[in-house]
Amino acid sequence: MAELTVEDQPGKSRFEARLGDELLGFVEYQRTDELVVITHTEVPRENEGRGIGSLLARGILDDTRARGAKALVTCPFVLAWIGRHPDYQDLQFNAPR
């Protein structure tokens, strides 16, 4: 049975959610040592409502935290997700220290 994975694909500048070989969605970014600009999340309509966008948001934000970086979020989906998850708000570039 295939396992759902969320993995960074640095060559594509995005995190991908996959079930086996099937691409379920992705979140695009631009990264420096200190900042990750999260620009776009895409989950095809047939995969919506399955929590895939949330897994992608959590994956890229957990990676950002592990790198000791901040996130500048221009993607409306991830920005709204952070608004519902206060434990990630400190990662925002303009968050108070």
Domain regions of the chain by residue span: 4-91
Record: fold of 4-91: Aminopeptidase (3.40.630)
| Nearest alpha-carbon partner for 64 in 80, 78, 43, 84 | 78
Q: Mark out the alpha helices in 1-97 (DSSP H runs).
A: 52-66, 76-84
**Could you give the angle at the alpha carbon of 16 between the alpha carbons of 62 and 18, nearest 5°?**
115
Model confidence, pTM:
0.92
Asked if 15 contacts 9 with a C-beta cutoff of 8 angstroms, the reply is yes
Query: Is residue 95 over pLDDT 80?
Result: no
**Residue-level pLDDT at 94:** 80
Pairing of strands 35-42, 70-73: parallel
pLDDT tens profile 15-37:
999 999 999 999 999 999 899 99
What confidence category does residue 9 fall into, taking pLDDT thresholds of 50, 70 and 90? very high
Average pLDDT, the chain: 94
pLDDT tens profile 45-92:
998 999 999 999 999 999 999 999 999 999 999 999 999 999 999 999
